[in-house]
Amino acid sequence: MRRTAGQHDLPGAPAPVQRLVPGPVTGPLPYSRPGAQPAVIRLRALLVLLLGPALLATSAWAVEPLDYRVLAKKPQERRNFIQGLEILDGKLYVSSGHYGQSRLMRYNFSDMNLEVSKSLNRRLFAEGVTILGPRLYQLTWRERMMLVFDRQSLEALEWFPIKGQGWGLTNNGEQLIYSDGSDRLHFMSPDTRSVSRSLRVTENGRPLDRINELEWIDGRVWANIWQTDRIVVINPESGVVEASLDLQGLLPASERRPDTDVLNGIARDPADGSIWVTGKRWPWLYKIEVQQGN
């Protein structure tokens, strides 16, 4: 069978494994499915400003409503089924999903020119992406795999199995943090590849599930909630949702097509602290400023 250039084969058979993983692989395939002064208000300061003493005077479960304004937008490839975003050193890294269409891409963020595109095996459904040190990590969905790439070349280095499905992915500078579609965030060592803890996320005292794409911003986990246009801000120690940002209407109805899907994708640019959001098969990346809600 002919393969397109840059396509990575699914580990599971000797030859494909060698193409995806140059070194030794352990374990069977579980196949079944930190710069410049910010241009926006830093989250920690924002929460202190917005919540202040009022938080202590109200229920510990109080969720602060946030608002936003659009500062700028950049065009992007509309075909991308966005599952993960990362911005670093002037580059935008995109994980685009769907069976038979999953890709890992790097763009020059200033002009959005595509520099590298890696197609995954048709049996892999790409999910969240994050960069930690010299490596880029990309989740897969039902296949329960973490793919590891060289950050500079985007060449595949290896893969390892994860517990549960792969949805969103970020890191706190030391640990990988991923979601599995439930109400849990899993904290994993990139060295031992073991989960050190699984954090239950609650909103107003109740479990919050369908946690999707993730981004670490100023000591908090920002998360898309699947099938909504909402982002929540999660305390990574307690699991409590501290704030909620409703982005409904960000993409106008006039720019939606039949295949336009939900909001998904959060990235913070370390160069200026700006926050960018988008959605699955959306034509734009939006730079937003987070503000106090009503």
User: Do 130 and 169 meet the contact criterion of CB atoms below 8 Å apart?
Assistant: yes
> Which of the four pLDDT bands, split at 50, 70 and 90, describes residue 203?
very high
Query: Does residue 72 belong to any structural domain of this protein?
Result: yes
**Cβ neighbours of residue 88 closer than 8 Å, sequence gap 6 or more:** 131, 270
Higher pLDDT, 203 or 37: 203
Residue 24 lies in a domain: no
Please give the angle made by the CA atoms of 275, 280 and 282, to the nearest 5 degrees: 75
Secondary structure of the chain in the HEC alphabet?
CCCCCCCECCECEHHHHHHHCCCCCCCCCCCCCCCCCCCCCCHHHHHHHHHHHHHHHCCCCCCEEEEEEEEEEEECCCCCCEEEEEEECCEEEEEECCCCCCEEEEEECCCCEEEEEEEECCCCCEEEEEEECCEEEEEECCCCEEEEEECCCCCEEEEEECCCCCCCEEECCCCEEEECCCCEEEEECCCCCCEEEEEECEECCEECCCEEEEEEECCEEEEEECCCCEEEEECCCCCEEEEEEECCCCCCHHHCCCCCCCEEEEEECCCCCCEEEEECCCCEEEEEEEEECC
Report the CATH number that the domain containing residue 66 is assigned in CATH: 2.120.10.30
User: Could you tell me if residue 14 is inside a domain?
Assistant: no
Low-confidence winner among 48-57, 65-74, 152-161 (lowest mean pLDDT) = 48-57
* pLDDT at residue 24 in the model: 34
Q: Is residue 11 part of a domain?
A: no
Among 29-43, 58-72, 89-103, 251-265, name the one with the lowest average pLDDT: 29-43
Mean pLDDT of 235-243: 98
110-137 average pLDDT score: 97
Residue 66 has pLDDT above 60, yes or no: yes
Is 17 a member of any domain? no
Number of domains the chain contains? 1
Most confident of 16-30, 45-59, 137-151: 137-151
Q: How confident is the model at residue 42 (pLDDT cuts 50, 70, 90)?
A: low
The pLDDT of residue 60: 62
pLDDT value at residue 56: 41
| Strand-strand pairing, 241-246 and 64-75 | parallel
For residues 142 and 20, the model is more confident at 142
CB proximity list for 14: less than 8 A, separation 6 or greater: none
Q: With the C-alpha atoms ordered 35, 38, 44, 49, is the resulting torsion angle positive or negative?
A: positive
Please report whether residue 7 resides in a domain: no
Mean residue pLDDT across the chain: 85
What percent of the chain has pLDDT above 70?
Answer: 80
pLDDT score at 153: 94
Provide mean pLDDT across the span 241-255. 95
pLDDT tier, 43 (very low <50, low <70, confident <90, very high otherwise):
low
Q: Residue 277: CB partners within 8 Å, gap ≥ 6? A: 231, 247, 250, 263, 265, 266, 267, 285, 286, 288
Model pTM score: 0.81
Tokens 């995954």, located at residue: 120
Domain around 251:
31-292
In a domain, 192, yes or no: yes
Residue identified by tokens 């943090």 is: 177
Q: Tell me, yes or no, whether 20 lies in a domain.
A: no
